[in-house]
Amino acid sequence: MNPTILRAALVLGLLSAIGPFAIDMYLPALPAIGADLGADTAGVQMSLMAFMAAIAVCQLFYGPISDMVGRKPPLYFGMALFAIGAVGCAFAPSIEWLVAARFLQGVGACAAMALPRAIVRDGYTGADAAQLQSLLMLVFSVSPILAPLAGSLIVEFGGWRDIFWAIAGIGVLGLLLVGFSLKETRPRHLRLDSSVGSALRGYGLLLRDWNFIGLSMIGAFGMSSFMAYLANSSFVLIEHYGLNPTLYSVMFSINAVSFIGVSQLTGVLTRRYGLNAIVRTAVTGYVVTMLALVVIYLAGFNQLPVLATLLFVGYGFLGLVIPTTAVLALDGHGEIAGTASALMGTLQLVTAAVVMGVVGSFFDGTAQPMVIGIAACAAIAFVLTRLTLRIDPQPVAAE
């Protein structure tokens, strides 16, 4: 294994995990937050959606700015704002305050979530990029595996506000990581042609590239299916199936292990079969698994072991979809990698926020709306894959 790739994966994976850690860590506390602040399920979920919406919108700015000034200055700004937002959450006297502070925190977290993809593209393409993306996800897995467990322990021995003090500390650690462990990958001579005008032209180019849009949306609906689970799982598993916060965290972590573990095969499989074949096969396996779950639930088998088993299998397939579609989408746009990464992230997170809102509006205390939402996202990803990857991708030539 190339030590340079390993080091890059460690640093970028930890940075990428900071934002999701701020999501996953407070999931076990969602029911407690609602009870303490007198908010209903929709109101508490709004704090999650505000965080996601901020990340989605702000990527459109972080990407082009990083093309113009380099990757590190936006990361410094983002990590500082992330820590400030976490402190605001810790002091929240109402659900409205919490939602606003989470939005601010999301503006900061966006930098660490949007720019690592561009940094990967700055130095790698093809199978090496796919391998780095999968290794990055391995480090990134510290969030969905450890964060819910850490959050449940904090809630048990302290309170939900203590979670945000811990998250503020993570933001400070992120600042130190950027300062001492990350090299600038966008040298000054590459920034000379980057400007607001070039960013707008870049967005226009990308929006006309149907291959880029299609691949981004395959990843978007794959990610949305996981976000639908993320937003509803604590209420379903804790309130419907009766798990305590610690057992909930264990089940959440098991699905993350499947997602991350299978993703580590990306580099090997890509070198043998190619990126397009991996995406087509993985999306097909994912949609078959999720549709089977819907059929079983509609038939009346509302059982936790069935849900846990099929989600474990399905998210294993999804672990192959997310890194490969990202590599394919960015492969032809190295000159505007920051802008391309930003637009891809925005499309994915806006889609996820809409899906979360729709699924949440049908929440009835059971797992059925969540399961149907996950399967619908998988089906849309399958259709997009059939339309997008019928032929080898041909990026739009720059004018």
At 398 the pLDDT is 40
Scanning the structure block, which residue is given the tokens 């704090």? 47
End-to-end CA distance of the chain: 39
269 token code pair: 């499989």
255-294 as b/e: b if 16+ CB within 10 A: bbbbbbebbbebbebbeeeebbebbbbbbebbbebbbebb
At 393 the pLDDT is 43
At 162 the pLDDT is 93
At 138 the pLDDT is 64
At 397 the pLDDT is 42
Low-confidence ranges of the chain (pLDDT < 70): 1-5, 124-145, 189-195, 334, 390-399
At 329 the pLDDT is 86
